């Protein structure tokens, strides 16, 4: 197994969020790890002063790395920490899936994750479960927010045009004259609160 590890070509990915930070320490740590494992450093990819919240299209270093992975230029990608890859578990698992589709492994120095090992592969499977949980929680929060907005009479989507619809304007004005609230009128007629305010002011 050690002999197999010595043949691995590793790409190092380093990233810092601001221009005041340096990627040098991350790179030195990863180069030392590669030497300990007997890996050959075949490329270093850097994103300097770029937040992990940015997508691949705004992270040129990550984009170049993943294009090189697609060409099978490496056997393994090494990063200093999980948050260097992405800010969320979903981002991380998405990147991992791209790597695994090309049979490229991942080494995360700070977390001690190495998918070239059986325990590392098991950890990857576990992260996939938690990423799906994160997606489900996000969907639940979004749906709860939409339901709350509807309950409060907030118009979702593109507001309907009111000014040109004389019949609707008359109904809105009648409801307002009867003492109905602006929010309730907006919900009843499927228009924005601003539209009700404009035609009843």
Please state the rounded mean pLDDT for residues 85-91: 71
Whether residue 192 lies in the annotated active site: no
Q: Mapped to the 3 state alphabet, what secondary structure does 42-53 carry?
A: EEEEEEECCCCC
pLDDT at res. 31: 95
H or E, element range at 80? none
Cβ(47)–Cβ(12) under 8 Å?
no
pLDDT at 155: 59
**Span 138-159, mean pLDDT?**
72
Read off the pLDDT of residues 157-201 as tens digits, 9 standing for 90 and up: 555 566 667 888 888 888 888 888 888 888 888 787 878 888 887
Contacts of 164 (CB under 8 A, 6+ apart): none
Query: Which of 17, 51, 81, 181 is flagged as catalytic?
Result: 17
Confidence (pLDDT) at 169: 84
Report whether pLDDT(14) > 90. yes
Distance (Å, rounded) from C-alpha 123 to C-alpha 126? 5
Q: Which pLDDT score is estimated for 75?
A: 94
CA-wise closest residue to 149 among 114, 186, 176, 177: 186
Q: Give this prediction's pTM.
A: 0.60
Residues 100 and 1: their CA atoms lie apart, in Å, by 20
Query: What would the pLDDT profile of 22-77 be if each residue is shown by its tens digit?
Result: 889 999 999 999 999 999 999 999 998 887 677 777 889 999 999 999 999 999 99
Q: Cβ of 188: how many Cβ atoms within 10 Å? A: 14
Strand partners, 40: 9
Please give the CATH topology (third level) of the domain spanning 2-134.
Rossmann fold (3.40.50)
The predicted pLDDT at position 121 comes to: 77
Say what the pLDDT of residue 162 is: 67
């Amino acid at each position: 197994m050690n002999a197999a590890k010595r043949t691995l070509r590793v790409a190092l990915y380093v990233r810092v969020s601001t221009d005041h930070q340096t990627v040098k320490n991350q790179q030195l740590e990863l180069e030392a790890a590669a030497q300990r494992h007997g890996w050959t450093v075949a490329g270093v990819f850097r994103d300097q002063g770029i937040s992990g919240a940015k997508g691949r299209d705004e992270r040129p270093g990550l984009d170049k790395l993943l294009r090189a992975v697609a060409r099978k230029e490496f056997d393994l990608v090494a990063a200093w920490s999980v948050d260097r890859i992405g800010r969320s578990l979903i981002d991380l698992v998405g990147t991992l899936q791209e790597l695994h589709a090309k049979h490229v492994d991942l080494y995360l120095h700070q977390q001690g994750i190495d998918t070239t090992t059986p325990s590392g592969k098991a950890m990857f499977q576990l992260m996939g479960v938690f990423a799906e949980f994160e997606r489900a929680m996000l969907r639940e929060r979004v749906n709860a927010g939409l339901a709350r907005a509807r309950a409060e009479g907030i118009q979702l989507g593109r507001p309907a045009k009111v000014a040109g619809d004389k019949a609707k304007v008359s109904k809105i004005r009648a409801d307002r004259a009867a003492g109905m609230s602006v929010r309730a009128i907006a919900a009843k007629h499927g228009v924005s609160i601003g539209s009700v305010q404009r035609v009843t002011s």
